[in-house]
Chain A
Amino acid sequence: MALELTLHTQPEVPLEAECITPQRVAGLAAPEVERLDAMHGNRRVKLGDFFSAAGKGANDIVLNGDLSLVKLIGAQMAQGSIVIEGAVGMHVGWGMSGGQITVRGDAHDWVGPEMSGGRIVVHGDAGHLVGSAYRGQASGICGGEILVHGSVRNETGGAMRRGLIAVGGDAGDFTGVNMIAGTIVVLGNLGIRSGAGMKRGSIVSMNPAPLLPTYQYACSYRPLFLKLCLQHLRGLGFAVEERHINGRWRRWSGDSLELNKGEILLFQR
């Protein structure tokens, strides 16, 4: 049985509720869940001040209401599932290493920071810095999957080290900036300056994209890994077409200012 949390009072200032994560609620009765601590701005509050709980603490959590001011949901999550029926605030899935978070609405900035495993699915749009490093950090996500069916804004996968980020819509500027490794697939359009400072890794787009002068055209080919990757994404509900799966891709290598071992793959035909 799942634990169901419903927002009954909208927080006035951001609510940091890292307690909403399977391993924290596991085995707790509903009233005990409501007694868990959260931070409402600078005040320590009880989760029950904002949420009413039903069912009992389990590996599966369902959240109802507009949670756009609720931060850090699913923090350090290692197993189980969280389904958010609406929008969600910043830092969803912070430090996640396993399990799945599903957001039916939009997600704010910093989806899955410091993630190392598991999966985050956003059915709406996501903000800036999806899977990116925090300021001052050397690397972004180092594993796991972030699947955004809508569009994302700037700096998606900044300095990411491993893992998969897929975007159904468009991406903003600086997608895969300073990327160390990993894969970013954008079904829509890439913004400008994709892959700036990239060391290794792949940025894939179905559409032509403006590239930096430090990217060199390498070849046109049918990479096998991409075929598997796109089939995987199609299985997860992304609108990948047959022609993409079997198509040719133009490979641009860069960033020549770094290792030049990264690639931007643009669909050819």
Chain B
Amino acid sequence: MSDKDNMTDNGTNTETSAAAKADAKAAPGAASGAAPGAAPKNGGDHIKIVKNATCTFCGCVCDDMDLTVDLKEKRITKAKNACVLGRAWFAEHTIEDRPAALIDGREASVEEAVEEAARILLEARYPITYGLSDSTCEAQRVAVAISDIVKGSVDTTTSVCHGPSGIAFQGVGETTSTLGEVKNRADLVIYWGGNPAESHPRHFTRYAVTPKGMHIPNGKKDRTVVLVDVRKTPSAPVSDIFIQVKPGRDFELLWTLRALVNGKKITADVEELTGVARETLDDLVARMKSCSYGVLFFGMGLTMTRGRHFNSGAVLALAADLNQYAPFVAKPVRGHGNVTGADNVVSWQTGYPFGVNFNRGFPRFNPGEFTTVDVLARGEADAALVIATDPASNFPKKAIETLRRIPVISLDTKPTETSRLARVAFSVATYGINTGGTVYRMDDVPITLRPAFESPYPGDEEILTAIRDKILALRPPRQDAAADRAAP
């Protein structure tokens, strides 16, 4: 899956026109004053300005949006500060009339659907929960609780984007910082296997390249930006140095850099192996060793190509090695708005970031065994709870076949392939636009959402809480849990 898919996953939100009371607190005068020209011609009391709202479209989670909301039409007419992706994300929320819940494609009440969902999950021997990266931390927490109660697996879209980095953190460790520190200190910024110009447009301007920082008074002039990728992407013009690596040779290049940084002899023909001239590497190593603060941002060009967690591990190890010379950090550039939150929530609830299984009543972590795409491709699961993602359109064929065979419960803001094949499909409100809550930026900084207007649909958290409570009410009295746990 590429960063592009992340975007389609987010997609549009749908709203109905059903009665939503105008927010009386929205001060019309101040509002139109604050955003001159933003209000439609018939302006006035149905226009609301939301200051410092948060965009949840990508992992940058920019929290400096000024949204102009037309409460009568229930849409965002202007998103000041947003990038082109963010503007599309806010603008796409048009009104659409859909039932809040469907069972087998037929309209049902939310209560009926919740009961059906609870029944499916309770009956399943191997239920799986998947998605969660476009949902609030509060909702994610309930989803983990559900998986725990029904003794299933819980996995997030991390397993198909930066899951390998999760494995590498555990194996190698992570030298890390916030993006604020990068903004204020980093004078050497290396992007590896990512194309932020198209996937995270404000990463350059808000965090890592152009902003002026405490120790970087002249912004971009004080920074050296290096881009390493297999082809020239639209991000290349931003970089001072572009290094083109042969496809599938990132690990070899990283290993060579590690050897050079550590002063080990290299006899192999590095240029033939990696496509990068030895002088370029020596120059890069010199820059890395002499910078005052360096950062390595890595993307899915590393984590989803041959070598996966070893590629991530090599970046993390390189950053660790470089700390002999200068402060150096490595950060994954995360795609979905709250995929970082998903890692955090699942970690703090279960001890592991993704691919966690509760079949025996306690959490077990084993990517490859318990990660959703593998479980589905092997046809092992017998029920799925899919939240805010669309595996039926982007998983391998075998996994989709399994999804067609088993009962699926889907929560999404829009109709998707998954909601179409689902036994129970809920329409939910969009996080960040209709519901509040907490999301984590890609550097693990939690950010509060300021919703713009109300949706006639409930949020993920509400539905999941109802399902959880129904499960608790319906579940048979506890069996002998200790015996299940007994063996390994």
Contacts and interface: CB of A to CB of B under 8 A. Distances in A.
A43 interface: yes
A212 B255 contact: yes
Nearest to A45: B125
B418 to A, nearest CB: 21
A134 B366 contact: yes
Contacts of B262: 257
B359 interface: yes
A75 B488 CA distance: 9
Given A193-B307, A214-B264, A256-B265, A135 B367 contact: yes
B167 interface: yes
Interface string A19-40: 1000000000000000001011
Interface stretch (B89-97, B133-141, B233-241, B267-275): B267-275
B151 interface: yes
B124 to A, nearest CB: 8
B256 interface: yes
Contacts of B170: 135-136
A99 B301 CA distance: 45
Interface stretch (B323-331, B438-446, B479-487): B479-487
Given A41-B382, A42-B150, A42-B358, A216 B368 contact: no
A257 B261 CA distance: 10
A136 B488 contact: no
Contacts, number: 110
Contact of B366 (A16, A135, A212): A135
Interface string B450-488: 000000000000000000000000000001100110111
B369 A12 contact: no
A235 interface: no
B167 A135 contact: yes
Interface residues of A, number: 41
Nearest to B251: A193
A13 B381 contact: yes
A210 to B, nearest CB: 9
Which has the most chain B C-beta neighbours within 10 Å: A14, A90, A174, A192?
Answer: A14
Interface residues of B, number: 45
B380 A128 contact: no
B266 interface: yes
A169 to B, nearest CB: 20
A177 B310 contact: yes
A27 B214 CA distance: 75
A192 B246 CA distance: 15
Interface string A170-190: 000110010000000000000
Contacts of B484: 39, 42, 44
Contacts of B380: 13-14, 69
A256 B382 contact: no
B255 A257 contact: yes
Contact of B126 (A14, A94, A109): A14
Which has the most chain B C-beta neighbours within 10 Å: A43, A109, A135?
Answer: A135
A72 interface: yes
Given A75-B487, A136-B170, A213-B273, A39 B360 contact: yes
Given A173-B307, A174-B310, A94 B488 contact: yes
A32 B150 CA distance: 30
Interface of B: 124-127, 150-152, 167, 170-171, 251-252, 255-256, 258-259, 262, 264-268, 270, 273, 306-307, 310, 358-360, 365-369, 380-382, 479-480, 483-484, 486-488
Interface of A: 12-14, 16, 18-19, 37, 39-44, 69, 72, 75, 90, 94-95, 109-110, 128-129, 134-136, 173-174, 177, 192-193, 196, 211-217, 256-257
5 contacts: A12-B125, A13-B381, A42-B358, A192-B306, A193-B310
